[in-house]
Amino acid sequence: MAHEHSEDVLRRLKSIEGHVRGVQRMVEEDVYCIDVVNQIVAIQRALKKVSGILLDGHLHSCVTDALRGPDTAAREQVLGELIEVFEASGKV
């Protein structure tokens, strides 16, 4: 992963971590349920953004290199990994 992307991802993950701790406090303090759910939805969106950044970087580096390279096994591996990710996310 490119350095600028890793810094962005780490910054976002630290922010998400703080939000998760905030949700934990909200539950401990018996905050109104919908307010907690709204915070969880925001965390899910933030995680989806991080996932998108990582996938974009992977597509532009590892996948591109494997598709252009001579190694058929590497090409099949990255394509299989992408299919698994899309299946796991419910996109296929």
Q: Look up tokens 């995680």; give the residue.
A: 47
Domains of the chain (ranges; CATH) run 3-88 (1.20.58.1000)
Conformational region of residue 5, where left means phi above 0, alpha means psi within -120 to 50, and beta covers everything else: alpha
**Closest of 51, 48, 54, 47 to residue 17, by C-alpha:** 47
- pLDDT score of 45: 98
Q: What is the pLDDT along the chain (92 residues), one digit of tens a residue?
A: 677 789 999 999 999 999 999 999 999 999 999 999 999 999 999 999 999 999 999 999 999 999 999 999 999 999 999 999 989 988 66
The pTM is what? Answer: 0.85
